[in-house]
């Protein structure tokens, strides 16, 4: 007896589930009446060219859901009256999830990221998109010593929830480090967070109600765009000139026009730029006049590639600046430890939001990091990684200089781990992303970093994740891919330019 069932082994849905759905459909629609006898599992398996166990599993689930009854020795039949409450298991996706999803879950920047994430990556591709240290640059043995030490000395005391603002010994270490960088901070001013992503999330939650405006560079950190979108913020792109965000533009906005201005003054992600000291002072003046707080994201703290100090932090110049930083880029992302230095009157609301969000960052890891800092391991780590990042940057610049067509330009980064390639008008960042992918190189297209449809005029390259040799090779392959793209007749897309401000 051929039941007209069909299954496809190549389909995304497992065969037993395909079978479940087809049989359930026929029972529900009445095409198979109560008492209708199904063929033996062995026969059905042969007909469908699948394994008998698969049929047995589908039948078991159909029996459990009330569609079939099975009688030992007699066979399997359509149940008398499938019970009203019989429902397929939730995994069968019968709930209307697409109508249940919140606006946050379907926010545009998240979908944008998802689109790239789904693209297949050629195996062995050279990764100039990833912004994390390569495994050999992460001091796992030193961290293990610190974790061992903490467990030996604090035993289970390190295993409870951490205090709301973070473990005191870590906050003291952070305050001391900040003081060395010219940022006056006491341990009480610091809130430890689960990565600086959470720091940003807390700040966004503290400041933004749905529909509020927030200022950011036209090209900015994708993760910040995601968080602002989750809050329902309307992000406005601030144009840049060679010194940083365009002050004339900001001054033309009415006072209190936005809930904050998000900045990465020292090594902007994605453009690698640094805001000039003069512009920093002017931004602080503007912030007080306009009543708009500055959010200083110092994600690349201490990644200095030249023997020159970074310009003074905004937070060093103004205690009303909300400063955030992280150990992800300079040390180990898996620590998930970042922190906020808040203006005095924002400390309480930020700490209380932090507590509501996750009841505290891992106490064990905070103690371990405090020990790591206490032992001076971070300084030793910098002595290893900074020269290596310099080598990697130089390898990237060498490869680009050798093979990149003249139409594409860049500045040599002096700090941080990103280099921004400015593309000529006949290329889009998506074209370059795709051509690079085909050539076995992963890059981060400007599209991912753009505020709305703002100019998508470049691609970001990182030089922290691959060895110097692979970085150089990646730069050459990318240059060749771009050369080929430029040789092809290209339609001229319309777009706005975004200056990537000076290094």
Ligand X SMILES: Cc1ncc(COP(=O)(O)O)c(C=O)c1O
Q: Which residues contact ligand X (rule: CB under 6 A)?
A: 131, 195-197, 221, 223, 264, 269, 297, 299, 326, 328, 333, 338
Q: Which residues on neighbouring strands pair with residue 460, listed in sequence order?
A: 420, 444
Instruction: Count the helix, strand and coil residues of the chain and give each as a percent rounded to the nearest 5.
Output: 45, 15, 40
User: Smallest distance from the beta carbon of 413 to ligand X, in angstroms?
Assistant: 14
Residues 6 or more apart whose Cβ sits within 8 Å of residue 129 = 442, 443, 444, 460, 461, 462
CB atoms within 10 A of CB 392: 26
Residue 413: exposure state from Cβ atoms within 10 A (0-12, 13-18, ≥19): buried
Minimum CB distance to ligand X, residue 450 (Å): 15
Q: Which is nearer to ligand X, 223 or 360 (CB)?
A: 223
Say how far residue 468 (Cα) sits from the centre of its chain.
25
Closest residue by beta carbon to ligand X: 195
Look at the block and give the residue holding tokens 């994600």: 299
In this complex, which beta carbon is closest to ligand X, that of residue 132 or of residue 490? Answer: 132
| H or E segment to which residue 325 belongs | strand 322-326
CB of 221 to ligand X, least distance (A): 4
Distance (Å, whole) CA 319 – CA 189? 10
Nearer Cβ to ligand X, position 67 or 299?
299
| d(C-alpha 424, C-alpha 486), whole Å | 9
Shortest Å distance, C-beta 399 to ligand X = 23
3-state secondary structure of 7: coil
In angstroms, the CA 268 to CA 109 distance is 19
Rounded Cα gap, residues 58 and 48, in angstroms: 13
- The H or E element containing residue 43 is helix 41-48
Interatomic CA distance for residues 52 and 40, integer angstroms: 10
Minimum distance between the CB of residue 297 and ligand X, rounded to whole angstroms? 5
Q: Based on CB atoms, which residue is closest to ligand X, 337 or 439? A: 337
Length of the chain: 503
What is the closest distance, in whole angstroms, from the C-beta atom of residue 48 to ligand X in the complex? 48
Which residue's CB is nearer to ligand X, number 86 or number 334?
A: 334
Distance of CA 357 to the CA centre of its chain: 18
**What is the rounded distance in angstroms from the CA atom of residue 45 to the CA atom of residue 368?**
57
Q: How far is the CB of 4 from ligand X (least distance, A)?
A: 53
Nearer to ligand X, 196 or 274 (CB): 196
d(CA 294, CA 319): 10
The smaller minimum CB distance to ligand X, of residues 17 and 269, is found at 269
Give me the least distance between CB of 333 and ligand X, in Å please: 5
Nearest CB to ligand X, comparing residues 195 and 399: 195
Cβ-based nearer residue to ligand X, 65 or 419: 419
Within a 10 A sphere around the Cβ of 154, how many other Cβ atoms? 14
Minimum Å gap between C-beta 362 and ligand X is 14
């Amino acid at each position: 007896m051929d039941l007209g069932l069909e299954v496809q082994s190549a389909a995304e849905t497992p065969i037993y589930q395909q079978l479940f759905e087809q049989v359930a459909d026929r029972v529900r629609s009445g095409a198979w009446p109560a008492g209708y006898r199904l063929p033996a599992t062995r026969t059905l398996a042969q007909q469908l060219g699948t394994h008998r166990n698969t049929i047995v599993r589908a039948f078991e689930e159909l029996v459990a859901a009330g569609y079939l009854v099975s009688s030992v020795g007699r066979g399997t039949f359509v149940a008398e009256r499938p019970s009203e409450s019989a429902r397929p298991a939730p995994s069968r996706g019968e709930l209307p999830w697409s109508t249940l999803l919140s606006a946050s879950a379907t926010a545009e920047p998240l979908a944008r990221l998802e689109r790239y994430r789904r693209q297949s990556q050629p195996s062995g591709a050279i990764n100039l998109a990833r912004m994390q240290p390569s495994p050999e640059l992460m001091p796992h043995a030193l961290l293990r010593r610190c974790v061992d030490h903490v467990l030996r000395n604090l035993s289970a005391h390190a295993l409870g929830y951490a205090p709301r603002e973070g473990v005191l010994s870590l906050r003291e270490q952070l305050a001391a480090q900040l003081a060395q960088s010219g940022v006056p901070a006491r341990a009480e001013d610091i809130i430890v967070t689960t990565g600086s992503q959470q720091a940003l999330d807390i700040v966004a939650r503290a400041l933004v109600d749905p529909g509020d405006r927030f200022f950011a560079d036209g090209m900015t950190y994708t993760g910040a765009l995601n968080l602002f979108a989750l809050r329902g913020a309307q992000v406005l792109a601030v144009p840049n000139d060679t010194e940083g965000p365009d002050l004339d533009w900001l001054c033309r906005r009415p006072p209190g026009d936005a809930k904050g201005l998000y900045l990465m003054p020292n090594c902007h992600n994605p453009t690698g730029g640094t805001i000039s000291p003069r512009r920093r002072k002017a931004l602080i003046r503007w912030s007080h006049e306009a009543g708009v707080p500055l959010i200083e994201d110092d994600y690349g703290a201490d990644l200095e590639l030249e023997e020159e100090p970074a310009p003074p932090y905004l937070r060093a110049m103004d205690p009303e600046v909300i400063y955030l930083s992280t150990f992800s880029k300079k040390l180990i992302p898996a620590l998930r430890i970042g922190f906020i230095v808040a203006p005095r009157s924002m400390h309480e609301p930020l700490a209380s939001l932090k507590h509501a969000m996750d009841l505290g960052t891992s106490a064990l890891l905070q103690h371990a990091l405090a020990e790591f800092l206490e032992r001076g391991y971070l300084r030793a780590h910098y002595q290893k990684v900074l020269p290596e990042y310099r080598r990697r940057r130089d390898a990237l610049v060498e490869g680009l200089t050798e093979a990149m067509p003249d139409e594409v330009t860049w500045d040599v980064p002096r700090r941080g781990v990103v280099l921004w390639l400015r593309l000529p008008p006949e290329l889009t960042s998506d074209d370059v992303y795709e051509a690079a992918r085909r050539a076995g190189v992963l890059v981060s297209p400007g599209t991912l970093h753009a505020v709305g449809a703002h100019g998508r005029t470049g691609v970001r390259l990182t030089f922290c994740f691959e060895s110097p040799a692979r970085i150089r090779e990646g730069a050459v392959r990318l240059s060749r891919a771009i050369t080929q793209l430029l040789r092809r007749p290209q339609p001229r897309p319309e777009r706005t330019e975004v200056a990537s401000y000076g290094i």
